[in-house]
Amino acid sequence: MKYYLYNSLANNGIKPDIAPGTDLVDAVGLDYQEFLKGLAPEDEVVLVGGDGTLNYFINAIGDTEIKNNIYLFGNGTGNDFLKDIDKKAGEEVPVNQYLGNLPTVYVNGLEKRFINNMGFGIDGYCCEVADQIKEKTPQKEINYSGIAIKGLLFHFKPCHAEVTVDGVKHEFENVWIAPTMKGKYYGGGMKMAPDQDRFSDKLTVVIYHCRSKLKALIAFPSIFKGEHVKKKGIIDIYTGNEITVRFSRPCAAQIDGETVLNVTEYKAVLPKQD
């Protein structure tokens, strides 16, 4: 049997069309661990959604051993994970090989795995504003680039940041973004860490810092093609197994697009491979 798991609270509650001989399961309130344990060896599972759906799955299953084939049928808005592995939404993509050796982030008392990135700075601000818009007008399409540009110009104030990579401390002024990346992409197609390989034994932290708002704004579009890494004096990049980022004041953060408010520090840890 092939089981399609979908979120009835997302996409206006529209059920996905599935083929005969398959089972459509509402994942809202589902005990994923018990669900997986109850599957027959030949059963397959298709997660219907995007980056948030995949993030929820990897955290909901805990340390449960995955014995079945797991697929992602992308129908989210960002689909950064699919972009990173060079796949498209609208097809069933096998994901088992990507579900191991995932990093864990510790932030505000939370302990969560992430599949793409842990973001801190104006990216978290964008998610915070987007959540507010969705709450007021659920049907409205979110323009994250527009939110980011307005944030750069008017609303978000850069911070002093202390970034520690495998025990080595670095300090920066006027930091706008400081995400730790498992994959290359985040924010709906921005190539934040173009050299990051999700099978690597290292994570990549990217520090985007600039005193001038105008200069920061002009350089911002280059992130979509990964060309921001050439901006000397604005971008610093480090790789490591354990990365801690501390801001001088509380800001919103995001874990694979999920907002975490009032964050001053996070620590991302990638298990060392045997």
Q: Residue 274 domain-assigned?
A: no
Burial class (CB in 10 A: 0-12, 13-18, 19+), 40: exposed
Residues 139 and 236 in one domain: yes
Give me the domain span that covers residue 164.
Answer: 104-269
Q: Residue 9 domain-assigned?
A: yes
Among 49, 72, 98, the domain-final residue is 98
Residues 77 and 110 in one domain: no
CB 74 within 8 A of CB 16: no
The pLDDT score that the predictor gives to residue 234 is 95
pTM confidence score: 0.91
Please report which confidence band the pLDDT of residue 153 belongs to, taking 50, 70 and 90 as the band edges: confident
> For residue 65, what are its two tokens?
């051993």
Number of domains in the chain: 2
Burial class (CB in 10 A: 0-12, 13-18, 19+), 150: middle
Domain containing 168 — which CATH number?
2.60.200.40
Cα separation of 163 and 256, whole Å? 20
pLDDT in tens, 95-105: 999 998 999 99
175 to each of 85, 95, 156, 248, 250, how far by Cα in Å? Answer: 29, 34, 11, 10, 13
Among 67, 98, 129, the domain-final residue is 98
pLDDT in tens, 157-193: 999 999 999 999 999 999 999 999 999 999 888 999 9
